[in-house]
Amino acid sequence: MKIVSSVKLFAPPDFCCGGLSELKAIVVFDSRYGNTEKIASEIAKGLKESQIQEVVCSKTTEVDIEKFGDFDLIAVGGPTEMHHASPPMREFLSKLKHFDLKGKYGFAFDTKLNSWWAGDASNAIEHVLRDAGAKILMPPSSAFVTRPPSEELQPSAAPKTRETKKERHARKSEEKEIKHAAAVLEEGMEGKFELIGFELGHALVQAQTILQSS
Ligand SMILES: Cc1cc2nc3c(=O)[nH]c(=O)nc-3n(C[C@H](O)[C@H](O)[C@H](O)COP(=O)(O)O)c2cc1C
C-alpha cells in the first residue's frame, strides 16, 4: 500500500539531532471475532513503516503489563460491545489504571458499527490512558464494521412446536451470536489504520525530537 501521510515529514532522527534513543511501541488489543485484531496488526504495520525501531502487537490477555515501562507508545483498542468496551478490555483497563504511564504516549482505537447508536470503546480506553499519565498522541479512532442483512444469515429455524421460554431465549442468543460473528470490516478500514499507525510513528518521533531538543 502506498502511504500518503498528512503528517509533515522531517529528517530521520539520526540526521536531525544526532540520534534519538530506540523508539518502541506496543499495540494491545482485545478481539472476539478477529476484526480488532486485524486493525491492531495494521496499526503495527504502519508503525513499522514509520521510524519506530521495535513494534509489538499483543492481546490483552497475553500482555505483561509490567513490561510497559519499556515502551514509548502504548496503543490500546478493542471491540465496542453493548456501547462500551468489551469485558476482557474492561478487565485490562482496571489493571492499567493503577499503572504509571507518565512519560509515555498513548492512542486509543476501537471497532464498531457505523451507526448513531453504536457507542464506543475508545473513549473509555483513552480516559484510562490519560488518567494513568500518558500523553495522547492522536484522537481516538474507530474502524467500522458492517453486517450482512439478516436474510443472508442462516439462524436456527423457528421450531414448529411451541418452544419453552428457555428454548426461545437460547435460539435468540444463537441468532444474535451468528449476527455478531458475521460482522466484517468496511472496505478501506485496514488501509486507513495502516496510515494511522504510520502517522502515529511520525508523531512519536516528532514529540521525542522536540523533547530532546528542549
Ligand atoms: C456481544 C456484542 C455486543 C455488541 N455491541 C455493539 C454495540 O453496542 N455497538 C456497536 O457498534 N457494535 C457492537 N457490537 C459489534 C462489534 O463491535 C463489532 O462486530 C466488532 O468489530 C467486533 O470486533 P471483534 O471482531 O474484534 O470481536 C457488538 C458485538 C458483540 C459480540
pLDDT band at 140 (very low <50, low <70, confident <90, very high): very high
1 domain-assigned: no
**Domain shared by 122 and 45, yes or no:** yes
Decide: 110 in ligand 1 pocket, CB within 6 A. Answer: no
**Domain shared by 178 and 196, yes or no:** no
**Domain shared by 43 and 133, yes or no:** yes
How far lies 164's CA from each of 154, 167, 172, 186, in Å? Answer: 21, 5, 12, 38
Question: Got the DSSP string for 49-79?
Answer: HTT-SEEEEEETTT--GGGGGG-SEEEEEEE
Asked whether residue 181 carries a pLDDT value surpassing 60, the answer given is yes
**Domain shared by 195 and 108, yes or no:** yes
In the prediction, which pLDDT does 184 show? 97
Sign of CA dihedral 74, 123, 196, 87: positive
- Range in 20-34, 83-97, 193-207 with the lowest mean pLDDT: 20-34
- Run of H or E including 26: strand 24-29
9 domain-assigned: no
With the most atoms of ligand 1 within 8 angstroms of its CB, the residue from 89, 112, 178, 186 to mutate is: 112
pLDDT in tens, 108-131: 999 999 999 999 999 999 999 999
**Domain shared by 88 and 111, yes or no:** yes
**Domain shared by 106 and 121, yes or no:** yes
| C-alpha of residue 177 to centroid of ligand 1, in Å | 10
In the prediction, which pLDDT does 193 show? 98
143 domain-assigned: yes
Decide: 191 in ligand 1 pocket, CB within 6 A. Answer: no
In the prediction, which pLDDT does 19 show? 42
Nearest CA to ligand 1 atom 19: 183
**Domain shared by 69 and 175, yes or no:** no
Asked whether residue 16 carries a pLDDT value surpassing 90, the answer given is no
**Domain shared by 69 and 154, yes or no:** no
**Domain shared by 46 and 91, yes or no:** yes
Decide: 142 in ligand 1 pocket, CB within 6 A. Answer: no
In the prediction, which pLDDT does 157 show? 64
**Domain shared by 178 and 90, yes or no:** no
10 domain-assigned: no
Q: What mean pLDDT is predicted for residues 163-189?
A: 93
The CA distance from 169 to 117, in Å, is: 24
Mark 104-143 as b/e (b = at least 16 C-beta within 10 Å). bbbbbbbbbbeeeeebbbbebbbebbeebebeebbebbbb
Tally helices (H) and strands (E) across the chain. 6, 8
CATH of the domain at 73: 3.40.50.360
Average pLDDT across the chain, whole number? 89
What pTM does this model have?
A: 0.88
6 domain-assigned: no
Task: Give me the domain span that covers residue 191.
Answer: 21-147+185-202
In the prediction, which pLDDT does 20 show? 60
In the prediction, which pLDDT does 57 show? 98
**Domain shared by 29 and 63, yes or no:** yes
| C-alpha of residue 205 to centroid of ligand 1, in Å | 33
Asked whether residue 100 carries a pLDDT value surpassing 90, the answer given is yes
Decide: 59 in ligand 1 pocket, CB within 6 A. Answer: no
SS (H, E, C) 105-171: EEEEEEEEECCCCCCCCHHHHHHHHHHCCCEECCCCEEEEEECCCHHHCCCCCCCCCCCCHHHHHHH
**DSSP-derived secondary structure letter, 2:** -
Query: Which cell numbers hold the place of 147?
Result: 453486517
In the prediction, which pLDDT does 5 show? 45
Which span out of 61-65, 154-158, 172-176 was modeled with the highest average pLDDT?
61-65
Can you tell me which atom of ligand 1 is nearest the CA of 80?
17
The CA distance from 37 to 39, in Å, is: 5
With the most atoms of ligand 1 within 8 angstroms of its CB, the residue from 30, 82, 142, 172 to mutate is: 82
Decide: 186 in ligand 1 pocket, CB within 6 A. Answer: no
104 domain-assigned: yes
β-bridge partners, 3: none
207 domain-assigned: no
Decide: 50 in ligand 1 pocket, CB within 6 A. Answer: no
How many domains does the structure of the chain reveal?
Answer: 2
The CA distance from 25 to 8, in Å, is: 20
159 domain-assigned: yes
**Domain shared by 33 and 68, yes or no:** yes
In the prediction, which pLDDT does 123 show? 98
